[in-house]
């Protein structure tokens, strides 16, 4: 019976060390995912800003082209 308890007592620090290691790895993994998500959000925000700039450019170009076409059509 004493061998069973001795085996149990020996396993306690091993299980505790494994639990600490597993929790530490999860904490690091979560931190890495948060960094990845922040970087992805930054890229998406930059793409949205670029898309808005391109849309504004296209709208301005369309107004210029409409004005040019009216002007060109009036001279003929």
pLDDT in tens, 18-71: 999 999 999 999 999 999 999 999 999 999 999 999 999 999 999 999 988 888
pLDDT of residue 8: 87
Q: Is the pLDDT of residue 16 over 60?
A: yes
The reported pLDDT for the residue numbered 75 is: 57
pTM above 0.85, yes or no: no
pLDDT of residue 27: 98
pLDDT given for residue 73 in this prediction: 77
Q: Which residues of 26-36 are buried (b: 16+ CB within 10 A; e: fewer)?
A: eeeeeeeeeee
């Amino acid at each position: 019976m004493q061998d069973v308890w001795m085996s149990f007592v020996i396993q306690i620090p091993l299980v505790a060390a494994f639990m600490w290691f597993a929790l530490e790895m999860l904490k690091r993994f979560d931190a890495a995912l948060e960094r990845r998500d922040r970087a992805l959000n930054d890229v998406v925000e930059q793409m949205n800003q670029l898309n808005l700039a391109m849309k504004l450019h296209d709208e301005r170009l369309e107004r210029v082209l409409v004005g040019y076409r009216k002007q060109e059509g009036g001279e003929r």
